[in-house]
Amino acid sequence: MMKRAFGLTKRINSIKFALLSPEEIRKMSAVKVITADTYDDDGFPIEKGLMDLHMGVIEPGLRCKTCGGKVDECPGHFGHIELAMPVIHVGFVKNIKNYLDATCRECGRIKLKDDEIEIYKQKIEEAKKMGASPIQLLLINKKIIDEAASRPICPHCGAEQKKITLDKPTTFREEGRKLTPKEIRERLEKIPDEDLPLLGINPETARPEWMVLTVLPVPPVNVRPTITLETGERSEDDLTHKLVDIIRINQRLRENRDSGAPQLIIEDLWELLQYHVTTYFDNQTSGIPPARHRSGRPLKTLVQRLKGKEGRFRSNLSGKRVNFSSRTVISPEPFLSINEVGVPEAAARELTVPIAVTAHNIEKMREIVRRGPHPQGDKYIPGANYVIRNDGRRIKITERNAEDVAKKLEIGWIVERHLTNGDIVLFNRQPSLHRMSMMGHLVRVLPDRTFRFNLAVCPPYNADFDGDEMNLHVLQSEEARAEAKILMLVQEHILSPRFGGPIIGGLHDHITAMFLLTYQNPKFSREEALHILSYLNYDKLPEPHRDENGNEFYYGKDLFSLILPKGLNMEFKSKICDPTVCNHKCVYEKCPIDAYVIIRDGKLIAGTIDENAIGSMKGKLLDRIAKMGSDIARKFIDDLTRLAIGVISYRGFTSGIDDEDIPEEALIQIHEIIQESIKKADELIELYKQGLLQPAPGRSLEETLEMEIMRVLAHARDEAGKIASRHLGLENPSVIMARSGARASMLNLSQMAGSIGQQSVRGQRLHRGYQDRTLPHFKRGDLGAKARGFVESSYKKGLSPTEYFFHSMGGREGLVDTAVRTSRSGYMQRRLINALEDLKVDEDRKVVDTAGNVVQFLYGEDGVDPTRSSGGENINMEEVLTEVLGEKYLLRRRK
């Protein structure tokens, strides 16, 4: 059994950073590597080579020559390379530069007078006592170094100092003359231990000359294993490749140096060695070309292993791959509850839940184990893949041993049974930008291969079904399952903490369907009503009405009322409300376009149910019901989506481009209006050219002209839209969608039917492209509407070539914007999360960090949980008054 530790078991008190001295590197080394070869012809590691068995084993069968361990036992051991000449460690060039600047080139002392040294030392001591952070200490050191570096003459020996420059990445020059790493090392050696604390070095753990390497540690082979391909071909790790380069050059350098070769050749080789050691540490050092593989791919060396999204920290330490998870394409399933998720049978049989065998369930568990890993039959029943015995041994269940294992099953064993209906799982879609990106769902095992869920749950995941994939995680402990059920279940997230309103709710067809069901209260025959209600779990029809012929019928509003919770009273304006219809004086239940919703005791009396009632993010009705409790809200949304599907699939609903057909006269009228506006724009330009245009306050003449033209043309488009709208009534499917808030807007429709209007980039009319003109089709300096991106055509009519081009320019900006926005906001999100991830709200609603430091004395300063608020407010007086006073208040509120 796993042992669980609660609370802190160990606490890091401090971390010490130090440098490895050459002696230390030699001491920890298991072998001195001298040949660049790896394996001999038999494939056996060559002695004193890069794969020497002293550095660990990666091949089964062999034993480590240092510790005698086999593959999984030996942790690996370091080796070392003796460098023929010292080289600079790229990671420390900045430090080396600082030390060279701050110390004397002759005597090695820090260039500060003795009394100054004393003062600074005291200052550091004091800061340490005050508990200064390492960053604060670093700042003090920086100040000291800057001060010392500014002295032209050494206060100790009086030697004149020379200016040292750094030629990135690793070349130091003293007044133009190159300093070899050897010289640099000698200078650093001269700095006395007493001066080191001033430079930010603890002399007990580090010496500055160790920043110039004379010995290079060779990492264990476990860190850079050889890959054997299926073809039997061996391929070495990038680090090994780099070490081969280093050893080769090192050897040549040594030979040339020992045989007294010309200085020039030695210097070249020395520089090459420096290059290889530099790229061994960091192959993205600026100023030098990255070392490449034979294929041209840049090598991944030490820094590359750690850095960035794919580096060790972000990819292996902050994030890990997990078991009991699955991923597949998602698709919609309106007959599932919002709390459910459809899981393909194939996935359900792979994903398992560990169940402890007890006296109460042993017979049931036996039955499940007996079924084995692949139970047959038409209906899905869970089997099991593994059992875990009391001693922790794991037994795989096969068809063969299932019966046997079932018989042997004992209390205390654990059965890993298949996922089954009602299990709770976590469901997630990336990017996980808010907490609703990962919610708890109840499993429904379904045929086929996709995850399925209710469409109302698309907004919190920001999911659609154009190929999106999602992840599903099966919880493995009772505590986790309890937490998920209580805290993470979808129904607990109907209200978003982002704006205190519902994020889960009706969308698209749900809204259209509710409009069709309630607008002007249509009548449905008994058969129709039965059909629609068959989608719901209602076994009783409401009391029917009778027409003049005595035939039974039902009102749409009555059918809708069936799903409303009892006791609900509210009033609000529908999305379709148009104040011009009633001259800005709402007439409430007598509204000619049925746009004032009145609900009394859970019955819809008047008004149209549309986006303002049930839309996700906007639905007022939904908002109220969500606050009546999550169970009621879940039931309402489940019923709502089912009812909507019933209505819309019974009635049928289609939209086509002929929705935007308008009469010939209207088209002519639109054309005339636009022509007139273009002429008006031309007149403005003429006025401007004659210098008669009056500049608007605070604007130049040119800006004024642009503004005026934009205004005139925008007006033209709006007028065209108005004319088009006049011929697009509420019987038109496209208009139904736009006006009810289901999808699209009237602007979209008028762009299809009337005119597309002005295209813009960065909020301005198009003006760039060619010299003084947008396209060579126009005269230079033409400021007219058509030359600057005004599109007269409608989408339906089609665009002229120039219009098409302009439209693409405007469209491009939108694409670039979203691309830039997502990457930038992603990075912002990361920084925000890193800064805030450890904060928590404690028992008395303080916001504190891990050390208990107070960040906020009361969460959000008002202590309000936005998910339990009304649009962020503590109390919604309107709701309270409606609750208490009922209709009396609602009627009084109208005035």
Partner 1 sequence: MGKFNVLEHELVPEHYLVSEDEEEEILKQLGVKKEQLPKIKKSDAVLRVLERKYGHIPVGSLIKIVRKSPTAGRIVVYRVVVRD
Point out which residues bind Zn ion (CB under 5 A). 64, 66-67, 69, 74, 104, 106-107, 154, 156-157, 159, 582, 586, 591, 595
CB of 136 to partner 1, least distance (A): 12
Is 495 or 713 the residue whose CB approaches partner 1 more closely?
A: 495
Question: Which of the residues 828 through 857 are near Mg ion (CB under 5 A)?
Answer: none
When binding is defined by CB under 8 A, the residue of 858, 875, 877, 880 that contacts partner 1 is 858
Q: Candidates 407-415, 489-497, 727-735, 852-860: pick the segment binding partner 1 (CB under 8 A).
A: 852-860
CA dist 716 and 659 (Å) reads: 22
Q: Smaller CB distance to partner 1: residue 5 or 8?
A: 8
CA distances from 178 to 171, 173, 182, 187 (A): 7, 4, 11, 14
Signed CA dihedral, 319, 325, 329, 331: sign only: negative
Residue 175: name its binding partner from Mg ion, partner 1, Zn ion, none (Cβ under 5 to 8 Å by kind). none
Task: Choose the contact partner of 582 out of Mg ion, Zn ion, partner 1, none; CB within 5 to 8 A by kind.
Answer: Zn ion
Q: Which of 862, 865, 883, 887 binds partner 1 (CB under 8 A)?
A: 862
Integer Cα distance of 810 and 760 in angstroms: 5
Q: Toward partner 1, which CB reaches closer, 863 or 886? A: 863
**Among the candidate windows 17-25, 243-251, 748-756, 846-854, which touches partner 1 by CB under 8 A?**
846-854
Exactly one of 420, 442, 846, 885 binds partner 1 (CB under 8 A); which one? Answer: 846
Residue 137 or 159 having the CB closest to Zn ion:
159
Which bin fits 598, alpha (ψ -120 to 50), beta or left (φ > 0)? beta
CA distance 296 to 339: 52
Please tell me whether residue 468 binds Mg ion under the rule CB under 5 A. yes
Q: Which residues contact 480 (CB under 8 A, 6 or more apart)?
A: none
Alpha-carbon radius of gyration of the chain = 38
**Separation of alpha carbons 460 and 337, rounded Å:** 15
Nearer to Mg ion, 429 or 441 (CB): 429
Nearer residue to partner 1 within complex by CB, 132 or 541: 132
Stretch that binds partner 1, among 207-215, 444-452, 568-576, 855-863 (CB under 8 A): 855-863
Nearer to partner 1, 487 or 854 (CB): 854
- Is position 872 an interface residue for partner 1 (rule: CB under 8 A)? yes
Contact 338, 461 (CB under 8 A): no
Please identify which residue in 497, 544, 860, 886 interacts with partner 1, judged by CB under 8 A. Answer: 860
Q: What does the CA dihedral 692, 694, 698, 699 come to, rounded to 10 degrees?
A: -50
Q: Does 844 engage in binding with partner 1 (CB under 8 A)?
A: yes
Of the candidate spans 74-82, 112-120, 168-176, 856-864, the one that interacts with partner 1 by CB under 8 A turns out to be 856-864
Question: Which of the choices Mg ion, Zn ion, partner 1, none does residue 466 contact, using the CB cut-off of 5 to 8 A by kind?
Answer: Mg ion
**852 near partner 1, judged by CB under 8 A:** yes
Q: Taking Cα atoms as reference points, which of 622, 620, 621 lies closest to residue 456?
A: 622
Question: Could you give the angle at which helices 509-518 and 630-651 cross, rounded to 10 degrees?
Answer: 80
Of residues 692, 815, 851, 884, which one binds partner 1 by CB under 8 A? 851
Enclosing H/E stretch for 440: strand 438-446
- Contact mark string toward partner 1, 79..118, x via CB under 8 A: ----------------------------------------
- At position 530, the amino acid (one-letter code) is L
Is residue 853 close enough to count as binding partner 1 by CB under 8 A?
yes
Report the partner that residue 872 touches, choosing among partner 1, Mg ion, Zn ion, none (CB closer than 5 to 8 A by kind). partner 1
106 binds, among Mg ion, partner 1, Zn ion, none (CB under 5 to 8 A by kind): Zn ion
Residue among 72, 115, 466, 658 that touches Mg ion (CB under 5 A): 466
Give exposure, 149-174, as e/b (b: 16+ Cβ within 10 Å).
bebeebbbeeeebeebeeeebbbbeb
864 sits near partner 1 (criterion: CB under 8 A): yes
Query: Is 724:666 a contact under the CB 8 Å cutoff?
Result: yes
Q: Which is nearer to partner 1, 119 or 858 (CB)?
A: 858
The nearest distance, CB 411 to partner 1, in angstroms, is 46
Whole-number Å distance between alpha carbons of 659 and 750: 11
Residue 857 binding partner per list Zn ion, partner 1, Mg ion, none, with a CB distance cut-off of 5 to 8 Å that depends on partner kind? partner 1
Of residues 446-465, those binding Mg ion (CB under 5 A): 464
Instruction: For Zn ion, give the closer residue by CB, 179 or 362.
Output: 179
Tell me, by CB under 8 A, how many residues bind partner 1.
16
Q: Residue 745 or residue 874: which is nearer to partner 1 going by CB?
A: 874
Q: Which of 1, 2, 15, 130 binds partner 1 (CB under 8 A)?
A: 130
854 binds partner 1 (CB under 8 A): yes
Under 8 Å between Cβ of 514 and 522: no
Q: Residue 779: count other Cβ atoms within 10 Å of its Cβ.
A: 10
Please pick, from the candidates 115, 658, 837, 861, the single residue that binds partner 1 as defined by CB under 8 A: 861
CA–CA dist 379, 331 (Å, integer)? 22
Q: Out of partner 1, Mg ion, Zn ion, none, which partner does residue 854 contact, by CB within 5 to 8 A per kind?
A: partner 1
Q: Which is nearer to Zn ion, 62 or 586 (by Cβ)?
A: 586
Q: Could you tell me which of 312, 311, 242, 313 has the C-alpha nearest to residue 283?
A: 242
Say if strands 325-332 and 451-453 run parallel, antiparallel, or are unpaired.
parallel
Binding-site size for Mg ion (CB under 5 A) equals 3
**In the complex, least distance from residue 854 CB atom to partner 1, rounded to whole angstroms:** 6
Residue type, 879: E
66 binds, among Mg ion, partner 1, Zn ion, none (CB under 5 to 8 A by kind): Zn ion
Q: Which residues contact 574 (CB under 8 A, 6 or more apart)?
A: 594, 595, 596, 597, 607, 608, 609, 610, 612, 613
- Of 417, 484, 466, which Cα lies nearest the Cα of 445? 417
CB of 179 to Zn ion, least distance (A): 17
Nearer CB in complex with partner 1: 189/842: 842
* Candidate ranges 112-120, 354-362, 763-771, 843-851; the one touching partner 1 (CB under 8 A): 843-851
CA dist 124 and 120 (Å) reads 6
Q: Which of 46, 848, 881, 885 is the binder for partner 1 (CB under 8 A)?
A: 848
One-letter amino acid for residue 294 of the chain: R
What's the number of CA atoms in the CB half-sphere (13 Å) around residue 548?
Answer: 0
Q: Which two tokens stand for residue 759?
A: 């295209």
Do 274 and 84 touch, CB atoms closer than 8 A?
no
* Segment 436-440 long-range contacts (CB within 8 Å, at least 24 positions apart): 436/460, 436/461, 436/493, 436/496, 436/503, 437/461, 437/462, 438/488, 439/488, 439/489, 439/490, 439/493, 440/484, 440/485, 440/487, 440/488, 440/489, 440/490
Smallest CA-to-CA distance from 645 within 557, 730, 534, 539 is with 534
Contact partner at residue 852 from partner 1, Zn ion, Mg ion, none, CB < 5 to 8 Å by partner kind:
partner 1
Q: How far is the CB of 132 from partner 1 (least distance, A)?
A: 12
Cβ distance to Zn ion smaller for residue 286 or 583: 583
Closest by CA to 352, choosing from 387, 380, 385, 327, is: 385
* Binding partner at 727 among Mg ion, partner 1, Zn ion, none, C-beta below 5 to 8 Å by kind: none
Phi and psi at residue 730, to the nearest 5°: -75, 0
Q: Which does 67 bind (CB under 5 to 8 A by kind): partner 1, Mg ion, Zn ion, none?
A: Zn ion
DSSP state of 538: -
Q: List interacting residues with partner 1 (CB under 8 A).
A: 130, 844, 846, 848, 851-854, 857-858, 860-864, 872
Q: List interacting residues with Mg ion (CB under 5 A).
A: 464, 466, 468
